[in-house]
C-alpha cells in the first residue's frame, strides 16, 4: 500500500455496537466520512493485534478519553461511549470492530479485528477497555450436558437441547406504581403463577436500550419486587416485563408443563454404588 511505501500512517477506525446503538470514531485529526458513515475524530488508540495459540494473549486494549467529573467544562466526543460502563456495567455485550483506512487513496477500509468488550478500567481522564476476539463467546458450546439429577439447562433457552419454556405464557407485564433503587411495585406482579425471585425485570430506556435487573426476592401474590443491588433503575410509570426463573427440579418442570425438555437424570444414583467397595478378588 502507498502509506507503507512512503511512511504515511493509516487511520484506525473503531465501531462500537450495543443493541441498536452505534458509535464510530477515528484517529484522524478531523472527522471523516467512509461509505456514508461519519467517524468522529477522537483521542483513542488500541494495542497491537496478536493472534497466538494462547487465547489469553489475543486480548486487545483500547484507550480513549473519558471524564468522571460531573462539572467538567467540556467533555470529549467519546464521553457517551464511556457512559455504557459508568456508573453500572452493561448486562449485554458491546461489540467492537477495528479497521484500517487509507485516507489518502480513499479505498475500502480493511477489517483487522472483531470482538467484544469484557472489562473496563477507569483512569483520571481516560478509560481502558479489555476486549477479546468474538469467536471466544462460543468456545464453550457443544461440550455436552453433565450427568446429574437436576436440570442443567438455562431457563428459556431454545433449540433441540434447550429449555424451550414459553416466555409469553409465564411473563407478566404492567406499569410501575412505585420504584426505587432497591425495589419496584406493580399490581401485575401479584398475578404471576410463580414467584419472581431469581428471575429478572426488563424495560426500555429513553435511548431505546432494553434494560434488565435481576430480582432478589418476591413472595408469590405480592405486588413488590426486591432487586439485586447495582444496576440501572426504572422509574415510576415505566412499562415493565417480569419473568420468573425455574428451580431446575422435576417438580418445578412439571408445574410449568415442560417435562419433555427436562435435562436431569431422575434415576441417577445418589451414591456411587462402587464407592468404598473393594474390587479385589483376594
DSSP 62-84: EEEE----TT-S---TTHHHHGG
pTM: 0.85
What is the pLDDT averaged over residues 147-164? 91
* 174 and 238 inside one domain: yes
Cis before 87 (ω within 30): yes
Q: Looking at the domain assignment, is residue 274 inside a domain?
A: no
pLDDT above 60 (res 198)? yes
CB 170 within 8 A of CB 272: no
| Residue-number span of the structural domain to which 188 is assigned | 167-245
* 134 and 174 inside one domain: no
Q: Looking at the domain assignment, is residue 281 inside a domain?
A: no
The CA R_g of the chain, rounded to the nearest whole Å, is 25
In terms of Cα–Cα distance, which of 141, 136, 139 is closest to 58? 136
* 15 and 63 inside one domain: yes
Which residues are CB-contacts of 192 (< 8 A; sequence separation ≥ 6)? 170, 172, 218, 220, 242, 244
pLDDT above 70 (res 2)? no
* 132 and 174 inside one domain: no
What is the pLDDT averaged over residues 18-27? 98
pLDDT above 90 (res 143)? no
* 65 and 185 inside one domain: no
CB 47 within 8 A of CB 60: yes
Q: Looking at the domain assignment, is residue 115 inside a domain?
A: yes
Q: Provide the strand spans (E) within the chain.
A: 11-18, 21-26, 32-34, 37-41, 44-46, 60-65, 95-101, 110-122, 126-133, 172-175, 178-179, 183-185, 200-204, 210-217, 224-227, 239-243
Q: Looking at the domain assignment, is residue 160 inside a domain?
A: no
* 181 and 120 inside one domain: no
Which residues are CB-contacts of 109 (< 8 A; sequence separation ≥ 6)? 13, 34, 35, 99, 100, 101
Q: Looking at the domain assignment, is residue 153 inside a domain?
A: no
* 78 and 116 inside one domain: yes
pLDDT tens track for 224-256: 999 999 899 999 999 999 999 999 999 999 999
Q: The CATH number of the domain where 52 resides is what? A: 2.40.10
What is the pLDDT averaged over residues 58-62? 93
* 110 and 191 inside one domain: no
Please report which confidence band the pLDDT of residue 280 belongs to, taking 50, 70 and 90 as the band edges. Answer: low
CB 176 within 8 A of CB 240: yes
* 113 and 192 inside one domain: no
Q: What is the pLDDT of residue 141?
A: 55
Q: Which range is least confidently modeled, 103-107, 153-157, 158-162? A: 103-107
Q: How many structural domains does the chain have?
A: 2
Q: Looking at the domain assignment, is residue 184 inside a domain?
A: yes
Q: What is the pLDDT of residue 138?
A: 53
Alpha helices, H only, the chain: 2-6, 79-82, 167-170, 250-255
Phi, psi (degrees; rounded to nearest 5) at 44: -140, 145
Q: Looking at the domain assignment, is residue 258 inside a domain?
A: no
Q: What is the pLDDT of residue 196?
A: 98
Q: What is the pLDDT of residue 271?
A: 75
Amino acid at each position: 500500500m502507498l502509506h507503507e511505501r512512503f511512511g504515511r500512517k493509516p487511520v484506525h477506525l473503531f465501531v462500537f455496537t450495543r443493541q441498536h446503538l452505534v458509535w464510530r470514531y477515528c484517529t484522524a485529526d478531523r472527522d471523516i466520512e467512509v461509505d456514508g458513515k461519519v467517524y468522529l475524530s477522537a483521542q483513542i488508540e488500541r494495542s497491537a493485534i496478536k493472534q497466538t495459540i494462547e487465547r489469553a494473549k489475543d486480548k486487545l486494549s483500547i484507550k480513549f478519553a473519558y471524564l468522571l467529573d460531573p462539572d467538567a467544562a467540556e467533555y470529549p466526543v467519546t464521553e457517551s461511549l464511556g457512559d455504557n460502563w459508568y456508573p453500572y456495567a452493561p448486562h449485554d455485550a458491546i461489540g467492537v470492530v477495528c479497521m484500517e483506512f487509507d485516507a489518502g487513496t480513499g479505498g475500502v477500509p480493511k477489517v483487522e479485528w472483531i470482538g467484544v468488550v469484557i472489562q473496563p478500567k477507569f483512569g483520571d481522564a481516560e478509560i481502558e477497555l479489555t476486549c477479546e476476539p468474538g469467536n471466544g463467546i462460543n468456545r464453550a458450546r457443544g461440550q455436552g450436558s453433565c450427568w446429574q439429577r437436576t436440570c442443567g439447562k438455562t431457563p428459556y433457552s431454545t433449540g433441540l437441547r434447550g429449555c424451550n419454556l414459553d416466555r409469553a405464557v409465564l411473563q407478566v407485564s404492567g406499569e410501575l406504581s412505585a420504584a426505587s433503587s432497591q425495589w419496584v411495585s406493580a399490581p401485575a406482579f401479584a398475578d404471576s403463577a410463580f414467584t419472581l425471585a431469581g428471575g429478572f425485570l426488563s424495560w426500555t430506556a429513553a435511548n431505546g436500550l432494553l434494560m434488565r435487573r435481576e430480582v432478589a426476592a418476591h413472595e408469590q401474590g405480592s405486588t413488590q419486587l426486591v432487586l439485586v443491588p447495582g444496576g440501572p433503575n426504572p422509574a415510576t410509570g415505566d412499562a415493565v416485563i417480569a419473568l420468573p426463573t425455574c428451580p431446575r427440579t422435576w417438580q418445578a418442570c412439571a408445574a410449568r408443563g415442560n417435562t419433555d425438555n427436562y435435562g436431569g437424570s431422575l434415576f441417577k444414583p445418589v451414591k456411587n454404588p462402587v464407592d468404598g467397595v473393594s474390587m479385589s478378588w483376594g
